[in-house]
Amino acid sequence: MTIALISCALTLLAVFLTLNLMPGEKKIEQQLSRSYSTADEQFARSMGVLLGPPIVKGNKVEVLLNGDQIFPAMLNAIRGAKQTITFETYIYWGGTIGHEFSQALAERARAGVKVHVLLDFMGSIKMDGDALDMMRQAGVQVQRYHKPVWWKFTRLNNRTHRKLLIVDGKVGFTGGVGIADQWRGNAQDDEHWRDTHFRVEGPVVGQMQAVFMDNWTKSTGAVLDGSAYFPPLEDVGPQAAQMFSSSPTGGSESMHLMYLMAITAARHEILMSASYFVPDELAINALVDAAQRGVHIRIITPGKEIDSDLVRYASHSRWGDLLKAGIQMAEYQPTMYHVKCLIVDGLLVSVGSTNFDNRSFSINDEANLNVLDRQFAAQQAAIFQDDWAKARLITLAAWENRPWTAKVRDELANLLGDQL
């Protein structure tokens, strides 16, 4: 009887792991052919039609560097809300900044603002239960995304990694930051992370709101609509942009395809800030092909200061072909590098929650803001250059001559690459 029960339990565990780890949709299997560059009208057309949503003009995107700029801007927007706040995030822990956000959201709810907070269950598992109770008692509608229940347990591996804050349907924020004290400060030491976030106004904020609504409706069954959430939005700036999202429940390969299209269309330069860089074979081939046709490629990843050594080891195992193709790889030294930014040909800038790995491309719910504007791209390239100056270049010789123990360790970590 005991053996039968153990056998049954092991079978159920195997089924659970298989359902959790297997891809939800068929993956892209063929390298894209290059038929246009980023400067061609067809590139923007394909980004807005093949991938969607449409690229809209008239936006203003402001860059915010590190917690000292990011958190005050977000909190000021929350405290100034008149009608609605919609907030979706992966990391929401305790600490001083978590307390400030909880207090600000609760205060607005008590003032009559409709406040909706969507937290990933795994990412917010460290959150103080008292903070959740306090927000709910104040009238904040808090939803935990994919909270484990026995009849939906296979969804636990699918997380919302999106970072979205929209206030009154008019001002949006997105980028890489989580709500935890690690993001406070100005990346001044290894206790304070380096990250970038963005404040957005203009027509694209409506798309940001729609991305939030996608997961809110999936989680609650409720549809939030009307002018309080989707007000008329006038042109306020010079930038063309789109808010691009992906999810395993619909278009899990969309983000992967967007990155491949951008790399394939590159003509001159690719600058990539990648907080978690574990590229698959298609992405490696696309980057190598770009380098071989003369595209100058530089990639910054975290160094020893990283919150997941396993990711760094798996990443190292995949650098060989990139370095041989002349791609420059560098590891940021001062602190954890959590920036997620792609700059192509001084024109396209893609920022948001997406990491350059299979988890972001196929497993998690992600959202990126794509901006097509040369002045904005030049600003982001200057920021990249500042980060590059604080990174240590890893040469092909150094990579090939690392100790055999490191090579074995990296290859073992690489076995879990599809889940990282």
Sequence-separated (6 or more) residues with CB below 8 Å from residue 96: 181, 184
**Torsion sign (Cα): 387, 38, 55, 29:** negative
C-alpha span between 402 and 370 (Å, rounded): 37
Instruction: Name the active-site residue from 163, 170, 192, 256.
Output: 163
| Main-chain dihedrals φ then ψ at residue 406, nearest 5 degrees | -70, -40
Instruction: Name the active-site residue from 340, 387, 410, 418.
Output: 340
Instruction: Name the active-site residue from 161, 170, 197, 316.
Output: 161
Question: How far is the first Cα of the chain from the last one, in angstroms, to the nearest whole number?
Answer: 39
Extract the tokens encoding 59. Answer: 């936006």
Q: Residue 225: helix, strand or coil by DSSP?
A: coil
C-alpha span between 403 and 250 (Å, rounded): 43
Q: Active-site residue 163, yes or no?
A: yes
- From the list 204, 195, 214, the residue with the least C-alpha distance to 86 is 214
The DSSP-derived string for 260-299 is HHHHHH-SSEEEEEESSEE--HHHHHHHHHHHHTT-EEEE
Q: Active-site residue 340, yes or no?
A: yes
* CA neighbours closer than 13 Å in the CB half-sphere of residue 117: 27
Instruction: Name the active-site residue from 195, 214, 280, 345.
Output: 345
Instruction: Name the active-site residue from 170, 214, 338, 410.
Output: 338
Instruction: Name the active-site residue from 116, 146, 168, 195.
Output: 168
Q: Active-site residue 168, yes or no?
A: yes
Q: What is the DSSP letter of 251?
A: -
Q: Active-site residue 386, yes or no?
A: no
Q: What is the DSSP letter of 363?
A: I
Q: Active-site residue 147, yes or no?
A: no
Extract the tokens encoding 8. Answer: 């049954």
Q: Active-site residue 373, yes or no?
A: no
* Catalytic site positions: 161, 163, 168, 338, 340, 345
